[in-house]
Amino acid sequence: MRPEAGAHLWDAAEAARLVYEFTRGRTMVEFNTDLIIRSAVERQLEILGEALNRLRREDVDTGARVPDLDKIVGMRNIIAHEYGDIDYEIVWRAATTSIPELLPVLDELVAEARRTAGI
């Protein structure tokens, strides 16, 4: 693992954790009607996608270990550039289904990066 990968992985894991926290215990109706929560989730998904995009550019091998990396970066691009066309059902599913599955992978990669760096 390249040394700079650790920072990108930490950013990605932190953003994913915040998405999980923001949506935990909420319904899709609450998500859709609460502009603050929806905006917070969108922002963290942007950060997640950008961090993983940088990871994939700087450390291809580590990036390849992140499941659905291309989809995550694609969602980031839609949120950032096609904001008028966001499908919030897809965002909700990603936040409540994909993120909980992604978190352990990111946490393990962060731990590996720390071991590699001797931290």
Contact (Cβ atoms closer than 8 angstroms) between residue 53 and residue 12? no
Contact 4, 104 (CB under 8 A): no
The one catalytic residue among 38, 81, 114, 115: 81
CA–CA distances in Å: residue 9 to residues 17, 34, 80? 12, 29, 20
User: 102: Cβ–Cβ under 8 A, 6 or more apart, which residues?
Assistant: 16, 66, 67, 68, 72
Q: Is 43 assigned a catalytic role? A: no
CA nearest 46: which of 24, 17, 21, 78?
78
| φ/ψ of residue 82, rounded to 5 | -120, 40
Q: Is 76 a catalytic residue?
A: yes
Write down the catalytic residue from 54, 76, 93, 114: 76
Query: Any idea which residues carry the catalytic annotation?
Result: 76, 81
